[in-house]
Amino acid sequence: MAKTGEKSSHESYWVELLAKLGNDKQVREVAGKISKAYVNTGRRSTLTNNNVKLRLGIALFNAGVEEKPYYNDEYEEYALGQREEVPVEAGNDEVISEEVGTFPMGFVFINPLKNKIGLPLQFHRCLATTKNQFIPKTKYVSGTVPQYEKLIENLSFVQKRILGGQPLTLAEKILYAHLWDPKKINNIVKGETYLKLKPDRVAMQDASAQMAILQFMLSQMSSTAVPTSIHCDHLIEAFKGSDKDVATAKITNKEIFDFLRSSANRYGIKFWGPGSGIIHQVVLENYATPGELMLGTDSHTPNAGGLGMIAIGVGGADAVDAMADIPWELKAPKILGVKLTGELNEWTSPKDVILHLVGKLTVRGGTGHIIEYFGPGIEKLSCTGMATICNMGAEVGATTSLFPFTSSMYSYLTSTRRQQVAHQASLYSSYLKADVDAKYDQVIEINLSELEPHINGPFTPDLSTPLSKFSDFIKKNGWKDEIKAGLIGSCTNSSYQDMSRVVSLTTQALDKGLQPKADFFITPGSEQIRETMERDGHFEILEKVGGHVLANACGPCIGQWKRTDIQKDEENAILTSYNRNFRNRNDGNPSTMNFLASPEIVTAMTFAGKLSFNPITDTLIDKDGKPFKFSSPFGDELPSEGFAEAQIDTLADRTADIIISPDSTRLQLLEPFQIFPGKEYDNLRILVKVKGKCTTDHISAAGPWLKYKGHLENISNNTLIGALNAENNKVNVVRNALTGTDDTIPNVARYYKKNGVQWVVIAEHNYGEGSAREHAALQVRYLGCPIIIAKSFARIHETNLKKQGVLPLVFKNDDDYNLITGSDVITTIGVVGLKPDKDVIIRVRRGKNGDYKEFDIETKHTMSEDQIEWFNKGSALNLIAYKNSSRNL
């Protein structure tokens, strides 16, 4: 160990450095102090010469003295160095703090010159809490460290060469930094241009992961192209409490979990088993990184925007793109700026920001937009609070939501053991915020100081009522003034801050001998949160007032709630801190009125048991018969002792078999689709000529069919059952051209398939609109459909069809739709040698026994060269598999 006064072995470096600093006295003084502090505190035993260079190099980069941060030879990157922490002893910390300050993990920053050198001003907050801040001792680091250099290189090419140097919003910066091949772009028009992007990560929940993995298997890749994780959270029913419910789910869903676990192991995917947590909370705690791009197969994926990430909810087919290294397409979104000013009041929480905003924008107001928050108000928000706001941005239909990098993100990353990510982000913080003078397509301003708590619902999240007016709202509607259950937690609101504020209220009530008047349920978002709450005594308090702790899973938020306190269809009201409240969502009862509020408001109102209760102004009666009014809630943003180390992701034997029972009705391996035989299609039958709307719900219905999501053959029994037949004005009734009898659409399709007859669908405008459900494309292809002819296609579904090797053709003349009848037979001209922009002729034959007439209809398509390759190989994944096998020859 170095002794005080010992000569620095890296003296020459300091001499060189000080020479570089020139005559700036302040900077020289501080640099000298750093050197001295290290030596005097004996830190040199743990800090190598390289470490010191790194720290000072970073400070000099931030100060503009150096053009680039110090290059770390050891790790071959511009980095803050250590993969392992430097042990920090309290005594040493204090000595250094006096002179220059410290960061957790022993990082040095230069306090006296923070404007000139060292980390940006926004890190004052870290400075203030340094001494008390928990310094994780674990060596475990989740996720990956972003490669900001590469992203910035891409961005700067796009910004300078394509956009003429115009200032950009943060969302634009992150998207354009992730362009697949920026050199192939000529211009970007928001709302028009389709961007081909390269996501950094994929996360999937257990319901949607099944078909995504089954498809990915067809690629014959040995591992996913980007880091990927699976989270078992949707299939656990809330009934008897956490442990029992998880145990039951492991039995009832064994085949699904076995399949997901075994395939995750095989492909190097991180697997989070049942009970480990809800996808978005786990992602926030482990994988979300500022400035990166993630796809998640769940609509509340934008939760990660609370950590400055662009995180977009997609269908399984999109996730497969990223996993299989296929460019992922997104229409360049417009950017809706939300300027936050002021500071939240004591009873108001981040949830109220989004409850208020959803009311303003309505459920469609964010469509085609990314919501980007900015303004002085964001500096006072916790990282998890920002995640709540981004999570519920899905309720306005926004592509995603995000915040710029803030000091609370730094603290959260550090507290969740991702120091390296935190420091990289701070190093590149100018990339992680909007450019000065960036233009938003629309701006909404919210003054947090004027915001009051809101309650939204019932039945729609955009029916937003300020708390002070809620009592009148209930009276006006004549609803019973009673709350049957209060539910807090879920992926939206189960942060340490949320829970500790709830506990502050519960403690007050407990002291006054009060118990909730309604059932009270708590859903922790992850095992990490659950274990931390348990360690810090939160559950002891919550359970003392009769709170039921449910599994770390979606449970009542997604209808997995075996409720026993009401009769079927009984009208009743519940209050939740969740994000979505459509009819039937929580308990399958259409008469349950489900209101959304912050966890604090839900908790206080659950004690009252009345919808009219306003905890800010109203009183309850305590055990001594005296009036009791809640004091405002308070709580720690982060646990002072750090998060408990809970279950982490698992990755086991990568050579083990993927487990699918041959008798399974819920899972089935996919067979690669046939390649294009290289000759024109002949004798194609018309399965159905659809009249009017044909959404992905009409093509592949949800509801009870969802349990077959992993079994293409079984789920195909719902194919087009919602389609209205233009021939007979009946839903799901068509004529079987081979037998002459009427039957359901899936039955006729199966009959054709069995008899080797291929078929087409004729449709009107916007075929395949609605959710991006890959099954809608997979099923028609599976049952024998090579072509769909429509007046127009919904863009996402059109791409999904192309990926599965189906050719979407569009009538050149809309009226030609009327020329075709359900009993016609079709031949193609122009599918062989298909080229972009080259039309395809549909030759229609009508009549029988040699007595028939023929006429031609012109159609066009939007297939690119790449997509034509998909078609020729039978599907996009076939092409990947083909390329992989050629590479391996």
In angstroms, the Cα distances linking 487 to 279, 392, 561, 575, 586 are 19, 17, 11, 6, 10
**Residue 260 CB, nearest approach to ligand SF4 (Å):** 16
**Residue 278 CB, nearest approach to ligand SF4 (Å):** 5
- Binding flag, residue 551, ligand SF4 (CB under 6 A): no
Let me know: does 319 contact 563? Beta carbons within 8 Å.
no
Nearer to ligand SF4, 37 or 488 (CB): 488
Burial of 77 (0-12, 13-18, 19+ CB in 10 A): middle
Spot the catalytic one: 299, 612, 632, 771: 771
User: Contact region for ligand SF4 (CB under 6 A) — 13-21, 39-47, 257-265, 275-283?
Assistant: 275-283
User: Contact region for ligand SF4 (CB under 6 A) — 263-271, 552-560, 790-798, 873-881?
Assistant: 552-560
- Give the ranges where 117-237 is alpha helix by DSSP (H): 124-129, 148-157, 170-177, 206-217
- Binding flag, residue 209, ligand SF4 (CB under 6 A): no
Spot the catalytic one: 563, 773, 781, 861: 773
Tokens of 554: 């979606």
User: Contact region for ligand SF4 (CB under 6 A) — 249-257, 276-284, 833-841, 850-858?
Assistant: 276-284
Active site residue 666: no
Spot the catalytic one: 93, 233, 536, 816: 233
User: Contact region for ligand SF4 (CB under 6 A) — 10-18, 277-285, 614-622, 651-659?
Assistant: 277-285
Cα separation, 512 vs 514, whole angstroms = 6
Let me know: does 682 contact 845? Beta carbons within 8 Å.
no
**C-alpha distance across the termini of the chain, in Å:** 56
**Residue 234 CB, nearest approach to ligand SF4 (Å):** 6
Over the window 431 to 470, marking each residue x when it contacts ligand SF4 by CB under 6 A and - when it does not, the resulting string is ----------------------------------------
Tokens of 504: 């502050």
Spot the catalytic one: 43, 178, 234, 735: 234
CA 325 to chain centre: 19
Active site residue 233: yes
Tokens of 47: 């800090």
Over the window 746 to 785, marking each residue x when it contacts ligand SF4 by CB under 6 A and - when it does not, the resulting string is ----------------------------------------
Over the window 570 to 599, marking each residue x when it contacts ligand SF4 by CB under 6 A and - when it does not, the resulting string is --------xx--------------------
Find the binder of ligand SF4 among 278, 282, 326, 354 (CB under 6 A): 278
3-class secondary-structure state, position 684: strand
Tokens of 843: 């030759």
Nearer to ligand SF4, 279 or 432 (CB): 279
Q: What is the DSSP string of 446-467?
A: EEGGG---EEE-SSSTT-EEEH
Over the window 223 to 252, marking each residue x when it contacts ligand SF4 by CB under 6 A and - when it does not, the resulting string is ----------x-------------------
Find the binder of ligand SF4 among 280, 691, 711, 802 (CB under 6 A): 280
**Residue 887 CB, nearest approach to ligand SF4 (Å):** 37
Cα separation, 502 vs 498, whole angstroms = 6
How many CB atoms are closer than 10 A to CB 149?
16
Nearer to ligand SF4, 196 or 280 (CB): 280
Find the binder of ligand SF4 among 245, 292, 298, 764 (CB under 6 A): 298
Phi, psi of 388 (to 5 degrees): -60, -45
Phi, psi of 367 (to 5 degrees): -55, 135
Phi, psi of 471 (to 5 degrees): -60, -45
CA 403 to chain centre: 14
The three-point CA angle 319-322-323 to 5° equals 85
Cα separation, 263 vs 823, whole angstroms = 45
Torsion over CA: 799, 803, 804, 810 (sign):
positive
**Residue 585 CB, nearest approach to ligand SF4 (Å):** 9
Find the binder of ligand SF4 among 17, 314, 509, 554 (CB under 6 A): 554
User: Contact region for ligand SF4 (CB under 6 A) — 91-99, 347-355, 551-559, 835-843?
Assistant: 551-559
**Residue 300 CB, nearest approach to ligand SF4 (Å):** 4
Q: Where in 15-147 does DSSP place strands (E)?
A: 71-72, 77-78
Cα separation, 351 vs 393, whole angstroms = 11
Nearer to ligand SF4, 100 or 557 (CB): 557
Task: State the amino acid at position 167 in one-letter form.
Answer: P
- Which of 41, 12, 48, 31 is closest to 118 using CA atoms? 31
**Residue 203 CB, nearest approach to ligand SF4 (Å):** 11
**Residue 279 CB, nearest approach to ligand SF4 (Å):** 5
Active site residue 765: no
Find the binder of ligand SF4 among 226, 448, 551, 557 (CB under 6 A): 557
Active site residue 866: no
User: Contact region for ligand SF4 (CB under 6 A) — 160-168, 272-280, 620-628, 719-727?
Assistant: 272-280
In angstroms, the Cα distances linking 451 to 356, 448, 595, 600, 708 are 8, 5, 19, 15, 45
Spot the catalytic one: 245, 298, 352, 824: 298
Find the binder of ligand SF4 among 119, 279, 488, 690 (CB under 6 A): 279
Find the binder of ligand SF4 among 558, 745, 834, 876 (CB under 6 A): 558
Tokens of 638: 């982060």
Burial of 830 (0-12, 13-18, 19+ CB in 10 A): middle
**Residue 236 CB, nearest approach to ligand SF4 (Å):** 10
Tokens of 479: 């609803």
Task: State the amino acid at position 701 in one-letter form.
Answer: A
Nearer to ligand SF4, 300 or 334 (CB): 300
Active site residue 837: no
Q: Provide CB contacts within 8 A for 871, sequence distance 6+.
A: 676, 802, 805, 807, 834, 863
Based on its alpha-carbon atoms, the radius of gyration of the chain, rounded to whole angstroms, reads 30
- Binding flag, residue 300, ligand SF4 (CB under 6 A): yes
Site for ligand SF4 in 465-494 (CB under 6 A): 490-491
**Residue 580 CB, nearest approach to ligand SF4 (Å):** 6
User: Contact region for ligand SF4 (CB under 6 A) — 125-133, 148-156, 278-286, 351-359?
Assistant: 278-286
User: Residue count at the site for ligand SF4 (CB under 6 A)?
Assistant: 13
**Residue 271 CB, nearest approach to ligand SF4 (Å):** 17
Site for ligand SF4 in 600-629 (CB under 6 A): none
Nearer to ligand SF4, 118 or 296 (CB): 296
**Residue 299 CB, nearest approach to ligand SF4 (Å):** 7
Let me know: does 309 contact 400? Beta carbons within 8 Å.
no
**Residue 491 CB, nearest approach to ligand SF4 (Å):** 3
User: Contact region for ligand SF4 (CB under 6 A) — 153-161, 273-281, 421-429, 784-792?
Assistant: 273-281
**Location of structure tokens 């981040």:** 350
Q: Where in 206-292 does DSSP place strands (E)?
A: 228-231, 270-272
- Which of 676, 658, 675 is closest to 667 using CA atoms? 658
Q: What is the DSSP string of 312-378?
A: EE--HHHHHHHHTT-PEEEE--EEEEEEEES---TT--HHHHHHHHHHHH-TTTTBTEEEEEESGGG
Tokens of 769: 């609109």
Spot the catalytic one: 43, 423, 580, 861: 580
User: Contact region for ligand SF4 (CB under 6 A) — 274-282, 539-547, 844-852, 864-872?
Assistant: 274-282
Active site residue 846: no
Nearer to ligand SF4, 279 or 763 (CB): 279
Instruction: Kindly list the residues in this chain that would bind ligand SF4 in the complex (CB under 6 A).
Output: 233, 278-280, 298, 300, 490-491, 554, 557-558, 578-579
Just list the catalytic residues: 233-234, 298, 580, 771, 773
